[in-house]
Copies of this chain bind each other. A is one copy, B any other.
Amino acid sequence: MKPHRASPDTEASLIRVIQNLSQRKASPRSRLALSIGDDTAAFRGSTGSLTLLSTDALVEGIHFDLHYFSPEDIGWKALAVNLSDIAAMGGNPLYFTTSIAVPPDKPSTWVRKLYRGMLRLASEFQVRLIGGDTCASPQGLFLDVTIIGEVKPSEMVTRKGARPGDILFVTGELGGSAMGLEMLRRHSRLAKRYPEAIHRHLRPRPRSLVGRFLASHKFASALIDISDGLSTDLHHLCEQSRVGAVIDAQKIPLPGSATRLAPVLAKTTLDYALNGGEDYELLFTVPAKLRSRIPPKIDGVAIHEIGWITKEAGGCSIIKQGRTEKVSPGGFDHFIVGRGVEGGQI
């Protein structure tokens, strides 16, 4: 691709469009000293807080398919998965940057829709776009979001704090996103009949207020978001905490539409719940003495006890119909088979 000479009167500046959309949608924050339009953005940290930073990219053909993702869905989801990472630390999300590489067949109106979807979620969660990069892509859309949040050091919840005897909880329902993805891929006509499953995949809702609730009350000893699937993320939590876990298959919360969807889907509902990925629910541990303090719902989201922590480092098992089986990490990996490298968050 040959870089081209920029013309001062180019039809429409994507950057300016994004600037305008961003300024219209987000409420100003007094800690922001400098936003879009200079070499960097600049903001003041709040005294005593830790700044949280996370990056997650969406790549066309890997994370989404334009046959069933609208530009608004892509924008929404790219920000949602990053908000979920801040929630998984118990933090408050504040700002984000975007880096987008746009293929030649996507006009600026399409890109504008993508930013609309993103900035709608941003407005709802009161986070602000403060900078980024735009460029062309020879093939395929690439969208990277970096999010900045903050948390008091005493409230931050990592993956490391789970102790034997702690109780395991999850938010919401598991498996819905993967079921929705399969509907979209293989049963596109049926898909319209199950909008809630589809929605779970296209427009996940980050559990920001649940994360803040757990952190501010100091209820959670360890916390992670379920992006790769319960089985994989449970392993992540157990590895970092150097503990094991037992989960009860009957207690894993399944989507309401699961029973109706089961006949058309390739795998068991439990398989989707364990290994499906992209649910963006929270998985957390609570010391046994605080168990009764966990309410049945937080911010309207149901909280389910699904098991407990053991001292067997890295060993995860599941109780199914009275029998105990080993659980291997089986969640999905955004890397192609046979690459010999694992994908995921650094």
Interface residues of A (CB under 8 A from B): 1-6, 8, 10-15, 18-19, 33-34, 36-45, 47, 49-57, 59-63, 85-86, 88-89, 91, 95, 97-99, 101-102, 104, 107-108, 111, 129-140, 142, 144, 146-149, 151, 153, 156, 158-160, 223-225, 228, 232, 235, 240, 275, 277, 328-337, 339-346
Contact = CB atoms under 8 A, between A and B. Distances in A.
A137 B133 contact: no
11 contacts: A5-B332, A6-B342, A12-B341, A38-B160, A39-B88, A39-B89, A39-B223, A51-B51, A61-B137, A61-B138, A136-B335
Contacts of A104: 336, 339
A229 to B, nearest CB: 9
A40 B149 contact: yes
Contacts of A49: 44-45
Contacts of A85: 39-40
A301 B232 CA distance: 51
Given A89-B40, A146-B97, A333 B3 contact: yes
**Which secondary structure dominates chain A's binding surface?**
mixed
Nearest to A160: B38
Contact of A101 (B50, B57, B151, B332): B57
- The copy count of this chain in the complex is 2
The 10 A-B residue pairs whose C-beta atoms are closest, nearest first, are A45-B45, A61-B138, A39-B88, A14-B341, A3-B332, A6-B333, A40-B54, A135-B334, A132-B346, A4-B337
Given A38-B159, A51-B42, A99-B55, A8 B148 contact: no
B343 A136 contact: yes
Contacts of A333: 3-6
Contacts of A13: 341-342
Given A6-B330, A14-B343, A60 B149 contact: no
A50 B18 CA distance: 24
Contacts of A140: 137-140
A327 B283 CA distance: 58
Contacts of A55: 97-99, 131-133, 144, 146
Given A3-B333, A11-B340, A39-B225, A57 B135 contact: yes
Nearest to A53: B41
A341 B225 contact: no
Given A19-B346, A34-B50, A61-B137, 20 more contacts: A3-B277, A4-B335, A18-B346, A33-B156, A34-B156, A37-B159, A39-B85, A39-B225, A40-B149, A43-B53, A51-B51, A53-B131, A55-B99, A57-B142, A99-B99, A102-B335, A132-B345, A133-B345, A136-B339, A144-B144
A36 to B, nearest CB: 5
Nearest to A48: B44
A90 to B, nearest CB: 10
Contacts of A223: 39
A10 B328 CA distance: 13
A345 B144 contact: no
A334 B136 contact: yes
